[in-house]
Chains A and B, each alone.
Chain A
Amino acid sequence: MLGRHQTIVEKIVSRAAGKDVRAGDLIDVLPIDKLYFNEVIAPPAIINFEDDFEPVFSETRSSSSQKEIVVFGPPGQGKFKLRVFDPARVCFIPDHTVPSCSVKVAQGVNLMKRFASEQGIKMYKEGDGIEHTVVTEEGFVRPGEVVVATDSHTDTVGAIGALGFGIGTTEAEYALATGEIYDFFVPETFKFDISGDFRPGVSAKDLILQILGTVKEGGCSKKVAEYSGDTIRRMGMDGRFTMCNMSVEMSARTGIINPDDVTSEFMKDTVARHPELASELSSSFESGSRFVKSDVGAEYSSVMELDADTIEPQVAQPHSPANTKPAREISDEINVVFIGSCTNARHSDLVEAARILKGRKVHRNVNLLVIPASRLVYNWAMNEGVLKIFADAGANIESSNCGPCFGKHMGVLSPGDRCLSTSNRNYKGRMGSPDAFIYLSSPATAAASAIEGKIADPRRYYAS
């Protein structure tokens, strides 16, 4: 189909599959570029991988008389060991409930460490950060790649123009063995075309909440959400991560943004921190072969236009991320505020919250938790004095992990608690008790609300 206009999704899948595909096609085998695991799913996936594929490795070894195929494994042990498809394209990131919050979690993390060491897989440390943040900061995931990981918020990597899918334990275990996923339907794309400038106090989180409130939880089912328009072009990478991250909340297959000069700068910064990646990342910059974008004239299954100028600070009320309302219409009291998660705990998120909290105190009824998205963000915020602003205001600052968003660690909610969180899900029971109430907002709204002890419109803190 030479000359047909393609979406970025069709281009990335065509390249990976080695044939020209279009939305709706079913592909038997889709080779992936990258695979990563957290400590929630890695332990059972490792165990299943060993159980399911050990017979294949044993059999192929005995049928090939000469050399061993590959042997990873503890030295001195004669037993034939399994091998993952390509250790350089896999990484392990313990992030959901670390430092370990239970014996079983600690055991799981240790199992990952052992397996990673045997296989030559990169294993990050507890506190290095939330997986989706780490893989982009570290240059592991790059524009134009097909990426799978054992977490639905793998859509986050779409911000750099990668095609990221959350997968379950079984698909991940199979991908670990072969580097492939199977029976893949090439998704259609829903384009969100956003123009104009945000008003002060409004950010990417308000935009994505506004979209969610409109299309609802099932509104992008089986489709990829592509965010475009001049607002997105002017948006920094942190805001783009926030947008793509919450695509799954409208049941999108994933979210994606066409790479541009902002992406290119982000990749250059990555190389500056990791000079050893310079040659590998050369195709990830503007004009590089992996820097693919949707064609003008590509086919979209739906298009929605939005005007950024008219967007107000939004809050998702209990118990759905799509249950949104302008912050100015809500004044519910709250007693917990969480600034963190893979949605909103990066550099500019913390700066925005700190700007409001500077010189002010957290309300006496509020427990404010601040958890930076990664060690890089944490150390940066420490060196720049941003953590000091939070500490002076009376916040609890924790090492980098998913925090109470997972409902198990570092600030689990009691019945009756009312929490405003910068995370992505406020389902009943998500952060602890099913009798708690969770609201979602931007970091600015969260900071203003932490000061006032009730949900507050942050715009009054922006008056000059």
Chain B
Amino acid sequence: MTPSIEGTVTVKFGDDINTDYIIPAYLLQEAWDKKFFADYAFERYSPDFIKTCKANTRKDNIVVAGKNFGCGSSREQAVYAIQYNNVNAVVAESFPDIFFRNSINNSFCVVKVDSTADIKLGDRLDIDLEKLVVGIDSGSAQFQKRILMSGEERDLLVSGGRLGRVRERLRQRLLAST
């Protein structure tokens, strides 16, 4: 993932958005293709989500939320459902571990800030993972927020998925066993 991600805040949610809300369970077994889930994102919780994301012709949506975004079920399809609606990042006040790990494994940018109350729909965001700051431009005002993430977590996010590393470990092991 590039260390700098820009976008427009097009969707804003409150606290405790669980993965059932992001993608209902009845769909999970109906496709093995990640993109399938995009058409059903927030189907039962926020039916306008997909329309809103589509309406942004710049295709650079950013979702902003309160605490504990992505709680509940471990379904990774929740990440695909958001990601494949042209969402560049989720900025929230916290993420539980499973959703955070699933996001990293899909090179999907999730960043934590202390408060999202003053980030508004339509704001332009510039997420700088190197400096660990989010620049917010609301048109009338510009300000910054620190990204609350350890250097280690940031490195995991920037390095993207782990597939290359896992393949290399497997390769070494297979070679050693011959």
Contacts and interface: CB of A to CB of B under 8 A. Distances in A.
Nearest to B156: A183
B141 to A, nearest CB: 29
Interface residues of A, number: 64
B24 A320 contact: no
Most chain B Cβ neighbours within 10 Å, of A67, A187, A221: A221
B76 to A, nearest CB: 3
Contacts of B96: 218, 221-222, 251
Contacts of B25: 40, 406-408, 430
Contacts, number: 153
A348 B81 CA distance: 39
Interface stretch (A130-138, A172-180, A273-281, A283-291): A172-180
A169 B102 CA distance: 8
B84 interface: no
B177 to A, nearest CB: 6
A53 B162 contact: no
Contacts of B72: 152, 248-249, 425, 427
Nearest to A220: B96
Given A221-B96, A407-B24, A428-B45, A152 B74 contact: yes
Nearest to B30: A104
A183 B162 contact: yes
Interface residues of B, number: 50
Contact of A67 (B24, B30, B178): B178
Contacts of B75: 40-41, 168
Interface stretch (B3-11, B12-20, B127-135): B12-20
Most chain A Cβ neighbours within 10 Å, of B32, B75, B97, B101: B97
Interface of B: 15-16, 18, 20-21, 24-26, 28-32, 44-45, 67-68, 71-77, 79, 94, 96-98, 101-102, 104-106, 152, 156, 161-163, 165-167, 169-171, 173-175, 177-178
26 contacts: A26-B152, A39-B29, A41-B75, A43-B29, A52-B167, A59-B171, A102-B30, A104-B29, A151-B74, A152-B72, A152-B73, A152-B74, A152-B98, A166-B98, A167-B98, A168-B76, A168-B79, A168-B102, A169-B77, A177-B166, A182-B166, A218-B16, A251-B96, A408-B29, A412-B26, A427-B72
